[in-house]
Amino acid sequence: MKKIVLLLIVSLSLISCEHLWNNDDDGFYYPFPEEPITLFEINIGSSGDSVAETSLGVFGDNRSAVFQIRGQHYTISELNQNPDTGEIIFIYQPRRGFVGEDYVEIIAPTDGGGNQIFESKTLEFYIKVTD
């Protein structure tokens, strides 16, 4: 009898919490990122002089992008901000003699409207280094 009562209590508890996992329009949901992951493909030579620069744009409120994964086969992998325009530039230079693929992941803010909630998107860079 105790097992039946316990099972009944657990079942009712789970049913009452169902709205927390339901993504219907009842006001209880976990938001998903509105912007999909942005993919970039960079092809670059393996000589030590090859440098790739990619503009990430301008982010409001003096916010900047940050590395989540910097890469593994680089001499330079950095984010620079133009002080005049605020534009963020991703700069990548492969390690001398490296031929193959590298991967970089950058988290960039998307909400420049001064909202208290910080929203971001992921920028993925697939870098192919060739001879």
Per-residue pLDDT tens digits for 86-104: 889 999 999 988 999 999 9
How far is the C-alpha of 42 from the C-alpha of 125, rounded, in Å? 7
Give the residue from 39, 47, 42 showing the smallest Cα distance to 99: 47
Q: How far apart are CA 97 and CA 114, in angstroms?
A: 45
Contact (CB, 8 A) for 69 and 107: no
pTM passes above 0.75: no
- Per residue in 43-72, pLDDT tens? 998 876 889 999 988 876 666 788 999 999
> In sequence order, what DSSP letters do the residues of 27-96 get, joined into one string?
S--PPPPSSPPEEEEEEEESSTT--EEEEEEE-STT---EEEE--SSEEEEEEEE-TTT-EEEEEEEEPT
